[in-house]
């Protein structure tokens, strides 16, 4: 069974940094692209970032480009999202999501339970 467990969320001040982690199990982690998707309170789903299976390619939403960095450690089955210069409007539940293929294409799923990031002074 695929399991994705996010951690690292919490309260951070505007302009601050935070690193999210996602520990994966139940599948061959190094064979699949991985994604981050977020959902602000009362809002819809917002795509954040993708990393291909071997980490060779990364993709970002325009809203986070230059401030967020996605990475992965295939030896430890862990996905990361380093976030900096955080803004209040980025308060959201951040989901770690398994890709359908090794590349950025295809469906997103399964999803982790999410970790809440609150950006507030």
Partner 1 sequence: DIQLTQSPSSLSASVGDRVTITCQASQDITSHLNWYQHKPGKVPELLIYDVSTLQTGVPARFTATGSGTHFTLSISSLQPDDSATYYCQQFHNIPNFGGGTKVE
Q: Which residues bind partner 1 (CB under 8 A)?
A: 35, 37, 44-47, 50, 59-62, 95, 100, 104-114
- As measured in angstroms, the least distance from the Cβ of 58 to partner 1 is 11
- As measured in angstroms, the least distance from the Cβ of 81 to partner 1 is 15
* Cβ proximity of 20 and 9 under 8 Å: yes
Residue 62 or 75 with smaller CB distance to partner 1: 62
Maximal CA-CA distance, the chain: 40
The token pair that represents 71 in the structure block: 């990475």
Torsion of the alpha carbons at 11, 43, 78 and 107, rounded to the nearest 10: 180
Residue 28 or 113 with smaller CB distance to partner 1: 113
Residue 17 or 113 with smaller CB distance to partner 1: 113
- As measured in angstroms, the least distance from the Cβ of 5 to partner 1 is 12
* Cβ proximity of 11 and 120 under 8 Å: yes
């Amino acid at each position: 069974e695929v399991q994705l467990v996010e951690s690292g969320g919490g309260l951070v001040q505007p302009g601050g940094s935070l690193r999210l982690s996602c520990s994966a199990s139940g599948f061959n982690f190094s064979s699949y692209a991985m994604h981050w998707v977020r959902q602000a309170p009362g809002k819809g789903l917002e795509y954040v970032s993708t990393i291909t299976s071997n980490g060779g390619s990364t993709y970002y939403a325009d809203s986070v480009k230059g401030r967020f960095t996605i990475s992965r450690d295939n030896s430890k089955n862990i996905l990361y999202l380093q976030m900096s210069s955080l803004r209040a409007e980025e308060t959201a539940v951040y989901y770690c999501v398994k890709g359908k293929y090794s590349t950025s294409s295809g469906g997103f799923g399964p999803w982790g339970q999410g970790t809440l990031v609150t950006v507030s002074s």
